[in-house]
Structure 1
């Protein structure tokens, strides 16, 4: 097996890739926030929710990437709309402005905290500035967004809504050289459960955990992981990324986005405080 067998380019998203559900709240007056919406899973989730007729506030620091997300929603003829809101998730005022913009666009019911980043280094070598940045984006910002969004969700006519957090197999177990990422994802488990505990049954919290997904973030990890571990890029793909998985292919961003669509829908009404683990067997089987 060689890396040539794996097409490591992010697949083109089409309308046929997206889960579309009949749900009374999936309508233009319903608003969903999606962070990290300029690329990868965040972009796919924003488009998937727009394909279900929602008004989506897509937040990201990458303005050009957000424009690309708007274009992709148009390309798949999504009946909903994506409103790009450039947002620095490390800036508290910017996060507040993002949530305000969502609330002004309609009934804010859903939040998908997807934005993430990675840095590969061992704990002794890990730069604290990188640690702080990762935790700010992947744990503090989701907490702050939930803090600001929950009153708006509760203020809707029936208080129904959900906050979905993008976790990972690394929210279930640890591998070497990703300590900040692992810390953040484990923290999201606590945040998810805290949201559920305070949501009174109608405002739900859930997380989504997957293995390796064909996104720019994942592709960029291959070279870094190879250098850190002293192995080839081929070995990274075969042994590190797919070695323990039973399903020997990577997920696509659209497949992950569909999990958020289901989780937000009434079909997911009993998903509250729990995690949607779609990892190909990474964490549940062992040789």
Structure 2
């Protein structure tokens, strides 16, 4: 990538004014939200947005420096709640259980946002099995185990919700992303399974967006350009935004606001459902 601005990546910044402010009595210091992938991108924005709404946020990631930056960002915007960093490895089953226990010690664990994600671009004939396994571990196995350990705490708190980061790639697929496609279809299946077992007390929902201006997305532009024989600008304008009617990537705070709404009392009937904010990518055609 060059240092030139990425076309279509000029969405709202993560500021107090751009965070959805929800009136919900459960958005308070004694309510804990566990957010994965919280060191950057959508995970950071979700952690900060929930803290801005008054929650205590257990922010987890393998990147300790990134988590420190998330803590600083919440303080910079004057969040009413706090972000507590919980460094952890989502590929380690014991660490996953420890992360949930650490979150529960901060208050009543009510909300779990499974945001952590990885990407690898390669045709299936060349797709590394170890990369496939890593993506499955972080993006599908870990959310399942985190939910398993969080459910009892949510029931004890009188109810809660699991929000899972899906994608348009959980609705339709694009080439050279077999692991990502499989994980995102799987996370929607997990969401519906959790809703079926939540007895109405613990809800589950997924969030499906088009391309979001995060390091995960911008980092795949050079690989996609090489795979398809395109310029990097063409990848953004023709591949990423070509099917979208909204010719701008979402920003992380816009996605975070979907989690803020989805966890709130205003989303009581959002249970097993998917918030599809894709700019028209999957539902329109030329």
Match status 1:243 vs 2:239: no
CA drift of 1:20 comes to 1.1
Normalising by the residue count of structure 1, what TM-score does the alignment of the two structures yield?
Answer: 0.96
* Aligned mates of 1:5, 1:29 — CA distance in 2: 40
Deviations for 1:79-99, whole angstroms, at most 9, x for unmatched residues?
Answer: 100000001100111111110
Gaps of 5+ in 1: none
Corresponding residue of 1:226:
225
Q: Given the superposition, is the C-alpha separation of residues 86 and 5 from structure 1 closer, same or farther in structure 2, using an over 3 Å criterion?
A: closer
Corresponding residue of 2:59:
58
CA drift of 1:258 comes to 0.2
Deviations for 1:90-110, whole angstroms, at most 9, x for unmatched residues?
Answer: 011111111001111100000
* Aligned mates of 2:108, 2:90 — CA distance in 1: 22
CA drift of 1:49 comes to 0.2
CA drift of 1:218 comes to 0.8
* Aligned mates of 1:30, 1:243 — CA distance in 2: 41
Does the Cα contact within 8 Å between 1:31 and 1:106 map onto a contact in 2? Answer: yes
Match status 1:96 vs 2:116: no
RMSD: 1.3
Deviations for 1:48-99, whole angstroms, at most 9, x for unmatched residues?
Answer: 0000000000000000000000000000000100000001100111111110
* Aligned mates of 2:86, 2:6 — CA distance in 1: 38
Q: Which moved more, 1:22-31 or 1:228-237?
A: 228-237
CA drift of 1:11 comes to 6.2
Normalising by the residue count of structure 2, what TM-score does the alignment of the two structures yield?
Answer: 0.97
Match status 1:28 vs 2:33: no
Deviations for 1:242-283, whole angstroms, at most 9, x for unmatched residues?
Answer: 100001111000000000000000001000000000000000
Does the Cα contact within 8 Å between 1:10 and 1:215 map onto a contact in 2? Answer: no
Q: Given the superposition, is the C-alpha separation of residues 63 and 11 from structure 1 closer, same or farther in structure 2, using an over 3 Å criterion?
A: farther
CA drift of 1:12 comes to 3.9
Alignment: residue pair count: 283
Q: Given the superposition, is the C-alpha separation of residues 214 and 5 from structure 1 closer, same or farther in structure 2, using an over 3 Å criterion?
A: closer
CA drift of 1:230 comes to 1.3
> After superposition, where does 1:147-166 map in structure 2 within 5 Å?
147-156=148-157, 159-166=158-165
* Aligned mates of 2:47, 2:154 — CA distance in 1: 19
Corresponding residue of 2:71:
70
Corresponding residue of 2:214:
215
Corresponding residue of 1:119:
120
* Aligned mates of 2:120, 2:204 — CA distance in 1: 27
Deviations for 1:191-235, whole angstroms, at most 9, x for unmatched residues?
Answer: 000100011112100000000111111111111100111111111
Question: SS in structure 2 opposite 1:162?
Answer: strand
